[in-house]
Amino acid sequence: MRYIIKNRNLSLLFVVTFLFFLNETLLLPTLPMVLSKLGYSNTQIGLTLGSFALGVLVFRPLTAYITDKKSRKLALVIGTMIFLIAPFLYLISWNFNYLICVRFFHGLGISFFTTASPALVSDLAPDNHRGEILGHMGVASSASVVIGPLIGVFLYNAAGINLVLWTCIAMGLVSLSLIKFLKEKKRPVNTSQKAKGYAEVLKNRGVMVASALVLFVALMNGGIFTFLPILVRDHFNVNVGLIFMTISLSLIVFRLVTSHFSDRYGRGPCAFYSFLILCLSYYLIGRSGTITGLVVAAILNGIGVGGCMPALTAHVVDKTDPQARGIAFSIFYGAFDIGMLLGGAALGVVADLVGLRRMYEMTAVVGILAVAGFSLSIQAGPLKALRWTLVGNPTPGRDAK
């Protein structure tokens, strides 16, 4: 964290990121609870919450254009404005079709913010500490998951969903007021790449394969955030906010201690072994019959995401030119959006067919198949890919372009 503390812009962006995601994490456990109480099926809940990711996905090209060609700061402002407006819309109606539209619009905020924020961090971070800084910046969003669900459930139990929504509005106002103090690093603009930027990035093996794996990370996240509140309510006598807090605390501690590992030992091993741990956590969620087992699964889930995401994000930065980072992150996080969308919609269908526990177990198996594919295709040639994934880079801390 020393690099973030010493840099005024990184410190300010850290606070803004925390408040921005706190806005959303207040709703993580409360929206499924409201929809379940209203009588929605698991499939309907998944579709409603998953439409958030659809909104993120559809507008990724626009957010990439604004981030690369206009301003990282402008994209942050637009995203935060959307997060300020969206909570007002939930106050109007809980009609299923209307909520699909509101969630779609709400997702646009994430699209802008998550494209611009890592691009801005990458501009400011030294190359040899890139993985560490990206990992530590991720603590901001993770910290919001520590307290957001707890606060959300507390407010919901105290006064209903309306109080939760007004609190989200307050977070949006504070975030917006802080962004104006951010300053961007000046970047040379190369207009000749305007027409071919996306085509070039789509041909980039490192970006595309990393994006494929992050899709499965998001698929699992979608299953956690959408259906864990319902599983806990039905089978465990515990506040689901405490489980989200356990996941996030585990993630934060692991990131703080190990974020420099991908700089030192390579992006591949950090992503691969962390993803295996993520799969194990999913299997244990499906199998756990006690609170202790659920807590162990939550800790492993935090470790899995905390190790995998910074390594994949740093790899995407390693493999792209600064002028195309908005495009690269629009693809990378666009894959994440698809995963979140599938995690809500497709897993909801599976849960209705086989039950929530079985759904988690089946997803763990699919995840193992996905990381196997990653380990064979991330580099040109299976043997080279396996070495890069299982052993690491011959030159620690730097991915060759």
Confidence of residue 368 (pLDDT cuts 50, 70, 90): very high
Q: Is the pLDDT of residue 217 over 60?
A: yes
Percent of the chain clearing pLDDT 90 (strictly above): 8
Task: Provide the b/e sequence for 352-379 (b: ≥16 CB within 10 Å).
Answer: eeeebbebbbbbbeebeebbeebbebbb
Q: 391: which 2 tokens? A: 């052993």
The pLDDT assigned to 275 comes to: 92
Q: Which domains does the chain have, with CATH numbers?
A: 2-183+201-390 (1.20.1250.20)
Q: Which residue has the higher pLDDT, 143 or 360?
A: 360
Q: Is the pLDDT of residue 189 over 70?
A: no
Predicted structure pTM score: 0.69
278-326 pLDDT per residue, tens: 999 989 988 887 888 889 999 998 898 888 888 888 888 888 877 777 7
| CA triple 306-30-278, angle to 5 deg | 25
When pLDDT is averaged across residues 69-90 and rounded to a whole number, the result is 88
225-264 pLDDT per residue, tens: 778 877 887 888 777 778 877 887 888 888 777 767 777 7
